[in-house]
Amino acid sequence: MSTTAPDATAPDETALVEQFEQVLARHDRIEPRDWMPEKYRATLVRQIAQHAHSEIIGMQPEGNWITRAPSLRRKAILLAKVQDEAGHGLYLYSACETLGVSRQELTEKLVSGQQKYSSIFNYPTLSYADVGTIGWLVDGAAIANQVPLCRTSYGPYGRSMIRICKEESFHQRQGYELLMTMMRGSDAQRAMVQESVDRFWWPALMMFGPPDDDSPNTAQSMAWGIKRDTNDELRQKFVDMSVPQAERLGVTLPDPDLVWNAERGHHDFGQPDWEEFRAVVTGAGPCNAQRIAHRRRAHEDGAWVRDAATAFAARSSAEPVETREARA
């Protein structure tokens, strides 16, 4: 019998593609067991992994201030926030695992620099005001990016985003409330807030990725329903949202070109330094090496926990059911 004979039971690829596209056209979800084009799967793995890594690396800049929080209340809030980010990373690694990649593989790709994370986390946190600014602007930008992802076409990704977005909104409020408290304080505190906003405004705008005409993956990702808005649309939404918040706070956003355009019904604004963005994304930011070294060390230090959990799971599944039940 010839091994090249077509298998009569295998559905042909054209029918599968058609089915896949019908699901997208209905704005329905693609689930892990559904057929999907290899490129769709690879794009999702890249995007979800990058997102998961950002949550995990994103714990470091703020974690830097946990031991130096100015009060017990601020420490409790910051601890809860950083812990939420760990949870976000874990949901997203799980979503990525449904696409056939192991967490081990993802971690190795992060620490070897093969997969990226958001450029924003390669900037240092120099004062406690940065905790507030990160909550307000960085979590704010994350919300603008992520709310549309609740409707993304891949089921496990969209569902994990729903809970994540609720927590991000708490993060943004705690940041804004911290900055508002400092703005009502002394001149030195107000200066600290302004200095922090000056450093984080442009990197926050970079979080939406390069301009649309320099973003080769956007069109395909939108056609697949993975992305719902372009980078520039999201950046505009974020600027329009942040301007009145900055006014209420009493801080100046460091952009001389920022002005309301009544004709467009949006703010005009300047462009971030895209050269700096490219440098930070490709590893030359102020903290890239430090962030990865810290992550690698934490992963190595945790090896015994993984070994113990694996040994325990193996022993439990080898035991007769009665022994397991008796112990429980």
Q: Verify binding: residue 139, Fe ion, rule CB under 5 A.
A: yes
Q: Verify binding: residue 62, Fe ion, rule CB under 5 A.
A: no
Min CB(17)–Fe ion separation in Å:
34
Instruction: Scan for tokens 């690698």, then name that residue.
Output: 296
Measure the CA–CA gap between 58 and 145, rounded to whole angstroms. Answer: 16
x/- track of binding to Fe ion for residues 140-179 (CB under 5 A): ----------------------------x--x--------
With contacts defined by CB under 5 A, name the span among 136-144, 149-157, 293-301, 310-318 that binds Fe ion.
136-144
Residues 77-106 that bind Fe ion (CB under 5 A): 85, 88
Q: Verify binding: residue 53, Fe ion, rule CB under 5 A.
A: no
Q: Which is nearer to Fe ion, 168 or 229 (CB)?
A: 168
Measure the CA–CA gap between 265 and 261, rounded to whole angstroms. Answer: 6
How many beta carbons lie within 10 A of that of residue 280, not counting itself? 22
Q: Verify binding: residue 255, Fe ion, rule CB under 5 A.
A: no
**Number of residues written out for the chain:** 328
Min CB(168)–Fe ion separation in Å:
5
Instruction: Scan for tokens 């005409």, then name that residue.
Output: 213
With contacts defined by CB under 5 A, name the span among 25-33, 139-147, 212-220, 228-236 that binds Fe ion.
139-147
Measure the CA–CA gap between 90 and 156, rounded to whole angstroms. Answer: 13
Min CB(109)–Fe ion separation in Å:
20
First to last CA, the chain: 55
Q: Which is nearer to Fe ion, 36 or 49 (CB)?
A: 49
Q: How many binding residues for Fe ion (CB under 5 A)?
A: 6
Alpha-helical regions (H) of 98-230: 103-111, 129-133, 139-146, 155-183, 187-206, 218-223
Min CB(277)–Fe ion separation in Å:
21
Contact between residue 93 and residue 106 where contact means Cβ atoms under 8 Å apart: yes
- For helices 187-206 and 155-183, the axis angle rounded to 10 degrees is 160
Q: Verify binding: residue 130, Fe ion, rule CB under 5 A.
A: no
Q: Verify binding: residue 235, Fe ion, rule CB under 5 A.
A: no
Contact between residue 30 and residue 13 where contact means Cβ atoms under 8 Å apart: no
Residues found near Fe ion in the complex (CB under 5 A) = 55, 85, 88, 139, 168, 171
